A and B are shown apart, each in its own frame.
Chain A
């Protein structure tokens, strides 16, 4: 195999995609738009929320209410019992309970954790307000009031976007790269240039490798862009190593490139490539743990899920971003994803061999 020739294909692919503005937009803008939309839906930062404050009518309480009230937060004074009932029913985002006595040291915030986004927002607002109140009061040396957050429902772990973002990174990377490769390989076949390559000194391995590297280049840029956007713009929490997130995404997309080449053999038009989407994309979208956790699926579907590359990718991406797992913990995942890429590579090369019929 000559790397010189492999890279000739790689560079050509990179050039072609760079020329095609719409495709570039598909690679970079589409995931960003969709992720933003998700962020908006899940976090709903534009919504104002209502918070109950119950406690003695004193200077501290008034100061807290004043500090809390803002464009995005509405405050209602309610007795504790009533406030708790309304938080449980989800009507109120939370209730701040200030006990009579020594108010400056401890307050309790009761939140509705079934809507993690809202719960986080409430917690943040309260902490912010208390800090302001404390700073306005002299002396500064006085201890800051501690907020004790109590989840009346749900759990404080992560919000929805935090848990969904990792799997969306994997899903979009797979989806776009698959679509791109299968269509552009099909085009190569339709315009007849594949025949020129086949009668050239190139061997099949070089053709597929060249393609794989060319699209891997864009897959790498896309994963970097998506990861950075998710973490720095959408402020999704990730406790793990970013390079590992990117590595996982890239290995996953190498499989997608080869799958695209393989499946494009079975399509004669671009529409037929689109027809593979339900098979390749929707199946994985439904079963790989994006919507329902894999272990809650009916048993036969769990078996199906186990052979889908996206299931492994999702599990690994969540493990890294949510639980901070390192490469050693993810060895099985990396192996499975690598094996998928190699298997698809072999299949892609075997269909290309059939080209000389």
Chain B
């Protein structure tokens, strides 16, 4: 994206701008010339089957991978960049926590890394533990936790420093429907307070809850729009059919709705 357009995109208060981003792993093109804009305060869902490049793209957004081609900006800063790191909260697909430490110790550790002031940190820990229904488990080591509990603990770490951009890689995989709904309510209230959420999923009903949706297949972004617009665009009444219809077509130009 040319510099002038980038600036104009920033006037949208864009959280993430990808401009022709590709990522190669040897001969494999995991992400292929992907361009998209994620404005602030929305929930952006990246929908695609496994192997479509969702995780690769998210890892580039958080700065764990460098784009092989193109430009990727988070809050106007080219990634990877450590200065915006503190504004991003990342929940990887694997729990990526320390199983032999208690939840509180894990949270305190990441709190210190993100320089959350000690008193605020203690408040946040109680707050998040209550919200995520882990209060009784704060002082237990994570190896005693069930999969769903570890998942929530991992989310707590991502939320801890109140990031402006939350990048969640399949956050609700393996969770029971009730908990899934609670989490989505929480995502919604975060977005209402101005947090931008970038969530990967391969579940269609979750995709429908997003403000904006990107269809990813074979590293290419097939379309990026509101779920309703995607259905209208393809003349299909379900997202699944919309996806299938788009999968047979070349990638569409990304149009940004106001």
> A residues touching B (Cβ–Cβ < 8 Å)?
2, 4-5, 7-9, 11-12, 15-16, 19-20, 191-193, 195-203, 356-357
Contacts and interface: CB of A to CB of B under 8 A. Distances in A.
B94 A200 contact: no
B182 to A, nearest CB: 24
Interface string B35-76: 000000000000000000000000100111110000000000
Contacts of A191: 94-99
Contact of A200 (B85, B95, B97): B85
Contacts of A202: 113
A196 B110 contact: yes
A201 B95 CA distance: 19
**Which 8 A-B pairs have CB atoms at the shortest separation, nearest pair first?**
A8-B112, A192-B96, A192-B94, A199-B62, A19-B100, A193-B96, A201-B85, A12-B109
Interface of B: 59, 62-66, 80, 82, 85-86, 88, 90, 92, 94-101, 105, 109-110, 112-115, 141, 157
A14 to B, nearest CB: 11
Contacts of B62: 199
Contacts of B64: 195, 198-199, 356
Contact of A5 (B92, B113, B157): B113
A203 B82 contact: yes
B132 to A, nearest CB: 18
A20 B143 CA distance: 12
Nearest to A207: B113
Nearest to B106: A12
Nearest to A200: B113
24 contacts: A4-B112, A4-B115, A5-B115, A7-B112, A8-B112, A8-B113, A9-B109, A12-B105, A15-B105, A16-B100, A19-B141, A191-B99, A192-B94, A193-B96, A193-B97, A193-B98, A195-B64, A198-B64, A199-B64, A199-B88, A200-B86, A201-B82, A202-B113, A357-B65
A201 B59 CA distance: 15
Contacts of A357: 65-66
A19 B62 CA distance: 31
A195 B157 CA distance: 13
B94 to A, nearest CB: 4
A8 B105 CA distance: 10
Contacts of A4: 112, 115
Contacts of B63: 198-199, 356
Nearest to A202: B113
B209 to A, nearest CB: 26
